[in-house]
Structure 1
């Protein structure tokens, strides 16, 4: 199977970059749920309307559960359907400060199950985590059994994390491996600090380059990761586009 790729974008993307990304013909674009509210969804639906009008690219919208009740989820999914959105990335979302007893969807599998029961025709994607424990793999299988038909992984800057996961999992559900492009030294350092991700020697050396040198070398590093993944059997890539069509195009043209 040839490599398929998708792009993640945020709702504040401008039209030029959105149009540029759509011209690269991804399998789908997914739109993050940054503010977890109706205003955020309405902005995402404007993007979806543009994509539907100007391309044949499918649109997936992120939906968190921990901050919503049954009625709110139904209201949001109903609105998505009126805009011809049939693909949802179901997430738990960040924990809230309130007591768990007040939360309707404490875990992503509960949100998946509810959406699948209420909307059997909606395609539900879930998330998975590299370097998963046995317990995490158990709950991932549980989430798949509730209705997830695709999975998107967290990102890593170390290709070995993806390879190890491929060797570890026996799940047959398609996994879109999340790739964070290395195109900005400042942004990459921020992600390294935020995630405490493993830093391979090649990336450590790259981080010593100037910001001016970093861009092209970073694109090469990202392309190298994706091509290594292809060689070991990965056939689905979810690229965090950073709303940047130009650099995303450079990556896609070299894989």
Structure 2
């Protein structure tokens, strides 16, 4: 099933998972898949190892398992900066042969010590390339607080418009902790003529190290309410976990109430956290009137 069609009749609720590290067998993620599929998400996205990491095959295997064993619609991430057109062609053919029809097309992170392949410099180029191949539903990433490499948000939104014009059918945001940031971003994108569904990416933060890593990677700002929570419970791992879950639930309820197109939950392969949040918001999602 193509994911774009899901947005027409309800608030989409989806998960992100990642393959195990190269040093771990793929079977280590199967218990997570078992638990997550039981929560009945609309789809599950599977991240893709950066160029040369060797995890691309695991992405395909996990996506295929989601589709064939669990009946869950998969979306495969596909970064391009370290791949040639021939390599992308082979990956797309593997996706096609295995019935994977939803792709999150990304530039991807630069890998230290590896030179970019230079066939695709920007995600918009990959999106247009996949679109011309036909048969795939294409999503793109967006940054409510501006991509770390963009000079400002207005410029970043212009680049985002290029992704949509190139063929992206829906968008998934990077994580954020202040919903007003998302609402401002949604207004700006609409003003720029971007009219595709936008899923809000929510990450339940369950430990301080995770917070520091995410802020360093994506530049997300931390509102006072959030930092007070962390400071209050940082010496109690279980309390911080529960507080982080509660904070994410509060974000999601507010977003659904405000008519968000969808929620994309960054699970960090933690089925306990995903279950707690899913159970808390399931009734609200079902109560949202169909437009």
User: Same fold per TM (> 0.5)?
Assistant: yes
- Secondary structure of 1:148's counterpart equals coil
Instruction: Indicate how the Cα distance of structure 1 residues 43 and 215 shifts in structure 2: closer, same or farther if over 3 A, else same.
Output: same
Match of 1:253 among 255, 274, 279: 279
- 2:3 maps to what in 1? none
Match of 1:219 among 214, 226, 245: 245
- 1:19 maps to what in 2? 34
1:62-103 deviation digits (Å, cap 9, x = unpaired): 111111111000001101111110111111112467777x60
Instruction: Indicate how the Cα distance of structure 1 residues 190 and 92 shifts in structure 2: closer, same or farther if over 3 A, else same.
Output: closer
- Say if 2:189 is the partner of 1:169: yes
Instruction: Indicate how the Cα distance of structure 1 residues 17 and 99 shifts in structure 2: closer, same or farther if over 3 A, else same.
Output: closer
Contact map agreement 1:177 1:236 (CA 8 A) in 2: yes
- Secondary structure of 1:39's counterpart equals coil
Contact map agreement 1:178 1:238 (CA 8 A) in 2: yes
- Say if 2:76 is the partner of 1:68: no
Aligned length: 253
TM-score normalised by the chain length of structure 1 = 0.92
- Say if 2:224 is the partner of 1:201: yes
- Alpha-carbon separation, structure 1, partners of 2:205 and 2:269: 14
* Superposed counterparts of 1:131-146, under 5 Å: 131-132=145-146, 133-146=153-166
- Say if 2:170 is the partner of 1:150: yes
1:112-138 deviation digits (Å, cap 9, x = unpaired): 1111112x1111111111134222222
Structure 2: any 5+ residue segments left out of the alignment? 1-8, 21-27, 147-152, 282-291
- Alpha-carbon separation, structure 2, partners of 1:200 and 1:135: 24
- 2:204 maps to what in 1? 181
Moved more, 189-198 or 22-31: 189-198
Structure 1: any 5+ residue segments left out of the alignment? none
> What is the CA distance between 1:148 and its match in structure 2?
0.7
- Alpha-carbon separation, structure 2, partners of 1:18 and 1:152: 21
- Secondary structure of 1:106's counterpart equals coil
Match of 2:127 among 83, 94, 112: 112
- Alpha-carbon separation, structure 1, partners of 2:131 and 2:219: 35
- 2:99 maps to what in 1? 84
- 2:24 maps to what in 1? none
Contact map agreement 1:162 1:229 (CA 8 A) in 2: no
- Alpha-carbon separation, structure 2, partners of 1:197 and 1:169: 19
- Secondary structure of 1:202's counterpart equals helix
- Alpha-carbon separation, structure 2, partners of 1:75 and 1:83: 12
